[in-house]
Amino acid sequence: MIPVYAHRYLPAGRGTWRHPVLSIYQTDIIIYGTDLAEYINHEFTDSHCSISPDWTPPPMVPFWSEFL
């Protein structure tokens, strides 16, 4: 996990891009943005984040994919 801000993290991965930003606090794990740009827009502006139901995360570390 790569720390981004507070308890927001990017799953580490090599040769891939557009990983979702995860909010991880104790046992609570949620998606805070489908990628870093969307997360920054959601976190630091007044816009609301709405993730499409048909969105699928890119390949990443298998352990984290199970939570998404």
pTM, 2 dp? 0.70
Per-residue pLDDT of the chain (68 residues; tens, 9 = 90+): 889 989 999 887 766 677 888 899 998 988 888 888 888 888 888 777 677 778 776 666 666 666 66
Residue where the block lists tokens 């939570």 = 67
Sheet holding 21-25, edge to edge: 2-5, 8-10, 21-25, 28-33
Q: How far is CA 3 from CA 12, 24, 64, in A?
A: 10, 10, 15
| Amino acid at site 13 | G
Give Cβ neighbours of residue 23 (< 8 Å, ≥ 6 apart).
7, 8, 9, 29, 30, 31, 32
